[in-house]
Amino acid sequence: MNQESKIINVKLDKRDKKDYMIFEFEEEIIVCLNEESGQSELKSVFSVLLTELIKNPVELEYIENKEYKVGLYIDVCKEYIIDLNREILRVRNNMPDRLNKINLKRE
């Protein structure tokens, strides 16, 4: 499986006094870190990641926003991306061979 990974950029931003983790898929997914809805928004991110993963290898990459200064969220975001990338790799490695072969034929 030597396919090149599709990179999904992730950055942090502050808008209207709230903190957001922004996943730059074809259509951005914005996760509010200050509200309970953030948990369900993160589930949506994981669902989109799995859909992408069926098509191509995927990797998340943290992009620093120099204007964003909330150290705790920066640390949490970086760790979350590391954990998600580890989970993505685990899922990709456990995908059935026939699903991987189907995806390779599409290329």
CA–CA gap between residue 13 and residue 78 (Å, rounded):
14
The secondary structure of residue 4, as a DSSP letter, is: P
Question: Of 27, 32, 35, 25, whose CA–CA distance to 58 is shortest?
Answer: 25
Q: What is the pLDDT of residue 56?
A: 86
Asked whether the beta carbons of 60 and 85 are under 8 A apart, the reply is yes
Asked whether the beta carbons of 100 and 53 are under 8 A apart, the reply is no
CA–CA gap between residue 83 and residue 79 (Å, rounded):
6
List the chain domain ranges: 6-106
pLDDT-derived band of residue 100, with 50, 70 and 90 as boundaries? low
pLDDT of 101 strictly over 60: no
| Order of strands across the sheet that contains 58-62 | 29-32, 18-23, 6-15, 58-62
The pLDDT tens digits for 57-96 are 999 999 999 999 999 999 999 999 999 999 999 988 887 7
Q: What is the pLDDT of residue 4?
A: 83
The pLDDT tens digits for 15-53 are 999 999 999 999 999 999 999 999 889 888 989 998 898
pLDDT of 99 strictly over 80: no
Asked whether the beta carbons of 42 and 100 are under 8 A apart, the reply is no
Instruction: Name residues whose C-beta falls within 8 Å of residue 91's C-beta, 6 or more positions apart in sequence.
Output: 50, 53
